[in-house]
């Protein structure tokens, strides 16, 4: 049996044994959490014009008084609050205050990105990629790559793969995925191993990919859905 087919069967059995866990869905969710945790939010908090008002808006949002929260976020955003811009973007993207409005969501993410938010950088790249504007997507992520920010490195590799699956593309993204995986990015770890196992980086990497994939599965804690850092 080919290594990738064996691994896929083993993965299916693993998911079945973990209450139907969707490995890819789990990985994307954990990657989003990882990106947020490694973004420069604490740095942005230090630049906040009115922390007390921002916390007030957060409390209103938790109480589901979104109208009042949005009003405060808008006021703070006009004063230069990057956190408020991010919160507005997420509010409109996730439709927490009514109907979804992706145009408004992207507008606020763009403003936050222009003010230095790494989290907004990724969101703006996602919006550009959803329109298949990969030139804009790459230009956005290149800012993060130059800052040596791991999520930008991973997403740039991912979207290059989405544009082309040529040998040249895989040669170009190999070191990017390898480095992001080494640093612990969840999606980079799984995708790097997956591409290896499928021979996308050459047949010599197939055995390494097989064992990397198994190691990734072994690090998953099926009880609370967290992943331990692989060595």
For the stretch 218-228, pLDDT in tens is 676 443 344 33
Q: What confidence score (pLDDT) does residue 230 get?
A: 35
When mean pLDDT is compared across 6-15, 56-65, 135-144, the lowest value belongs to 6-15
Q: Which CATH fold topology does 39-140 show?
A: 1.25.40
Structural tokens at position 145: 């790559």
Confidence label for 85 from pLDDT (cuts 50, 70 and 90)? very high
- Is the pLDDT at 92 greater than 80, yes or no? yes
Ranges of each domain in the chain: 1-38+149-231, 39-140
- Per-residue pLDDT at 229: 38
* 160-207 confidence digits (pLDDT tens): 999 999 999 999 999 999 999 999 999 999 999 999 988 899 888 888
Residues constituting the chain:
231
pLDDT average, residue stretch 126-141: 97
The C-alpha atoms of residue 220 and residue 99 are separated, in whole angstroms, by 35
pLDDT at res. 209: 82
- Residue 1 clears pLDDT 50, i.e. is over it: no
Is pLDDT at 215 greater than 50 in this prediction?
yes
pTM of the model: 0.85
How confident is residue 8, by pLDDT bands cut at 50, 70 and 90?
low
Instruction: Give yes or no for residue 119 having a pLDDT over 90.
Output: yes
CA distance 192 to 216: 11
Cβ(48)–Cβ(81) below 8 Å? yes
Q: Is the pLDDT of residue 3 over 90?
A: no
Q: Give the start-end residues of each E strand in 163-224.
A: 220-221
pLDDT, position 19: 64
CA 54/CA 59 separation, integer angstroms: 9
CA distance linking residue 18 with residue 181, whole number of Å? 24
Q: Say whether pLDDT at 69 is over 70.
A: yes
Task: Report whether pLDDT(108) > 70.
Answer: yes
| 3-state class (DSSP) for residue 172 | helix
pLDDT at 4 over 70: no
What distance in Å separates the CA atoms of residue 111 and residue 117, rounded to the nearest whole number? 9
Look at residues 76, 146, 153, 79 and name the one whose alpha carbon lies nearest to residue 122.
153
Structural element, H or E, at residue 227? strand 226-227
pLDDT greater than 70 at residue 68: yes
217's tokens: 């599965």
Q: What is the pLDDT of residue 122?
A: 97
Q: What is the mean pLDDT of the chain?
A: 88
* pLDDT at site 226: 43
């Amino acid at each position: 049996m080919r290594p990738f087919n064996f691994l896929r069967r083993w993965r299916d059995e693993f998911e079945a044994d973990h209450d139907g866990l969707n490995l890819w869905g789990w990985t994307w969710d954990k990657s989003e959490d990882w990106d947020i945790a490694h973004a420069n939010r604490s740095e942005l908090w230090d630049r906040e014009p009115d922390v007390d008002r921002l916390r007030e808006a957060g409390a209103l949002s938790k109480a589901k008084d979104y109208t009042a929260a949005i009003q405060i976020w808008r006021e703070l955003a006009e004063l230069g609050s990057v956190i408020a811009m991010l919160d507005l973007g997420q509010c409109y993207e996730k439709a927490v205050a009514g109907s979804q409005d992706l145009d408004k969501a992207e507008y606020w993410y763009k403003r936050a990105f222009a003010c230095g938010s790494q989290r907004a950088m990724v969101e703006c790249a996602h919006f550009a990629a959803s329109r298949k504007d990969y030139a804009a997507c790459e230009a956005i992520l290149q800012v993060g790559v130059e800052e040596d920010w791991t999520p930008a490195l991973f997403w740039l590799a991912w979207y290059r793969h989405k544009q082309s699956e040529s040998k040249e593309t895989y040669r170009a993204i190999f070191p990017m995925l390898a480095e992001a995986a080494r640093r612990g990015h969840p999606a980079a770890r799984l995708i790097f191993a997956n591409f290896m196992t499928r021979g996308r980086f050459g047949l010599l990497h197939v055995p390494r990919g097989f064992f990397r994939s198994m190691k990734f599965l072994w690090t998953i804690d099926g009880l609370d859905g967290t992943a331990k850092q692989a060595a």
